[in-house]
């Protein structure tokens, strides 16, 4: 079965420190992978995507993610966290490639402390 796993319910980071939000996937074929952020009572905002090419993808607000095919992972990273980065982060994978319907992970709440 195709799925996305975010093993951490919450990640706590001090402001200025690097952050990592983990994501692993299981999908047949070549995956399209996405990261979205959600602020309270808001919709999802697109951060970045991986389709093909360079394994390191740079996105909005200084975030980046690294596609690792052997580990089937797509971890989200940022070199220096901001308090304003505190939000709910979702990893998603497109079934069978392309921009078809997305399967979302359970979400990881990021809390950045001053």
Partner 1 sequence: GAVVSQHPSRVICKSGTSVKIECRSLDFQATTMFWYRQFPKQSLMLMATSNEGSKATYEQGVEKDKFLINHASLTLSTLTVTSAHPEDSSFYICSAREAGGAGELFFGEGSRLTVL
Residues that bind partner 1 (CB under 8 A): 36, 41-46, 49, 90, 98-99, 101-107
In order of 32, 44, 67, the CA distances from 50 in angstroms are: 6, 17, 7
Q: Which residue lies nearer to partner 1 by CB, 26 or 80? A: 26
Q: Minimum Å distance from CB 44 to partner 1?
A: 4
Q: Which residue lies nearer to partner 1 by CB, 17 or 60? A: 60
Q: Minimum Å distance from CB 43 to partner 1?
A: 4
Q: How far apart are CA 61 and CA 63, in angstroms?
A: 6
Q: Which residue lies nearer to partner 1 by CB, 17 or 26? A: 26
Q: Minimum Å distance from CB 72 to partner 1?
A: 19
Q: What are phi and psi of 57, to 5 degrees?
A: -110, 130
Q: Minimum Å distance from CB 63 to partner 1?
A: 16
Looking at residue 100, what DSSP letter applies?
Answer: -
Q: Which residue lies nearer to partner 1 by CB, 6 or 112? A: 6
Q: How far apart are CA 68 and CA 93, in angstroms?
A: 14
User: Are 59 and 35 in contact, with CB atoms under 8 Å apart?
Assistant: yes
């Amino acid at each position: 079965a195709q799925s996305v796993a975010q093993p951490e319910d919450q990640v706590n980071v001090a402001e200025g420190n690097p952050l990592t939000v983990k994501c692993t996937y299981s999908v047949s074929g070549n995956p399209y992978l996405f990261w979205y952020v959600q602020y309270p009572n808001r919709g999802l905002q697109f951060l970045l995507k991986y389709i093909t090419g360079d394994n390191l993808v740079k996105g909005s607000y200084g975030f980046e993610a690294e596609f690792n095919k052997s580990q089937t992972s797509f971890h989200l990273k940022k070199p220096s966290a901001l308090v304003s980065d505190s939000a709910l982060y979702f990893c998603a994978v497109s079934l069978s490639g392309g921009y078809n319907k997305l399967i979302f992970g359970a979400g990881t709440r990021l809390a950045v402390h001053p």
